[in-house]
């Protein structure tokens, strides 16, 4: 049940080829880890899949249809949401605005503030957050801001959620909470993709792992097929 599929993705920066014909596909209800050392091409690949970079070669299909997008907004509108390491939100705006601004104005933007705030509270409750949605986002911890970013990326028809090293600035307890949220979204049928450096996160959380090295895909396997001791 593939939702997003990329084939032959190539990306060239000056005289350096960062991605060399990479194939990758993401399935509904599956958590997919992207593993590889620094410089392997992981960030470049997810930036291409989320519209931040344009590939120099290759094709992308969403639910079997060829798609192309040149901005993260366009990718998001198709249901491909992303959360970067530096939380990509607006710290001086309210939590509520951060969730909904620029999204389907017919459903949210044009209604009054209290209705929008009530919607924000309802959405965040599903993520285990009970916070003041009228407070500035910056008043909350990085972990909470990241959950707001995930909610923003997923709500309103998200199909694919792509996370760049989501645990990088979280403590152990916050990581557990994040994993719980990821498992919930997986159960809702999303395809979830995350970059990690940690093998234990591959085994604990992921259904499938793709390894990149030096711009090539060196493997893509169901985690259940891997030998944990190997």
Residues that bind ligand ADP (CB under 6 A): 13, 16, 18, 36, 38-44
In angstroms, the CA 208 to CA 224 distance is 8
Measured from the CB atom, is 35 or 119 closer to ligand ADP?
35
Measured from the CB atom, is 36 or 55 closer to ligand ADP?
36
Name the packing angle between helices 142-154 and 172-187 (round to 10°): 10
Nearest distance, CB of residue 141 and ligand ADP, angstroms: 21
Nearest distance, CB of residue 91 and ligand ADP, angstroms: 16
Question: CA of 81: how far to CAs of 49, 72, 84, 165, 217, in Å?
Answer: 10, 8, 10, 15, 23
Measured from the CB atom, is 96 or 167 closer to ligand ADP?
167
* Structure-block tokens of residue 175: 């990581």
In angstroms, the CA 92 to CA 75 distance is 25
In angstroms, the CA 125 to CA 104 distance is 21
Contact 144, 171 (CB under 8 A): no
Nearest distance, CB of residue 44 and ligand ADP, angstroms: 3
Name the packing angle between helices 142-154 and 113-125 (round to 10°): 100
Measured from the CB atom, is 88 or 126 closer to ligand ADP?
88
3-state secondary structure of 33: strand
Nearest distance, CB of residue 156 and ligand ADP, angstroms: 24
Nearest distance, CB of residue 222 and ligand ADP, angstroms: 22
Measured from the CB atom, is 134 or 213 closer to ligand ADP?
213
Nearest distance, CB of residue 157 and ligand ADP, angstroms: 26
Measured from the CB atom, is 105 or 219 closer to ligand ADP?
219
Phi, psi for 3 (deg, rounded to 5): -100, -40
């Amino acid at each position: 049940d593939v939702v997003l599929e990329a084939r032959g993705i190539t990306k060239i920066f000056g005289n350096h080829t960062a991605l060399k014909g990479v194939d990758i596909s993401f399935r509904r209800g599956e958590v997919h880890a992207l593993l590889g050392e620094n410089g392997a091409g992981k960030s470049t690949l997810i930036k291409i899949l989320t519209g931040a970079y344009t590939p120099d070669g290759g094709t992308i299909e969403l639910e079997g249809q060829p798609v192309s997008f040149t901005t993260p907004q366009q990718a998001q509108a198709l249901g491909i949401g992303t959360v970067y390491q530096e939380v990509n939100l607006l710290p001086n705006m309210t939590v509520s605005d951060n969730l909904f601004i620029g999204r389907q104005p017919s459903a949210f933007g044009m209604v009054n503030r209290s209705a929008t705030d009530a919607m924000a509270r309802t959405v965040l409750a599903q993520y285990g957050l009970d916070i003041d949605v009228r407070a500035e986002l910056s008043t909350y911890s990085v972990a909470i801001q990241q959950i707001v970013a995930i909610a923003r990326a997923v709500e309103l028809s998200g199909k694919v959620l792509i996370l760049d090293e989501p645990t990088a600035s979280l403590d152990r307890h916050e990581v557990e909470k994040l994993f719980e949220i990821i498992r919930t979204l997986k159960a809702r049928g999303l395809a979830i993709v995350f970059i990690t450096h940690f093998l234990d996160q591959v085994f604990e959380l992921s259904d499938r792992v793709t390894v990149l090295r030096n711009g090539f895909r060196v493997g893509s396997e169901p985690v259940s097929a891997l030998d944990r001791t190997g």
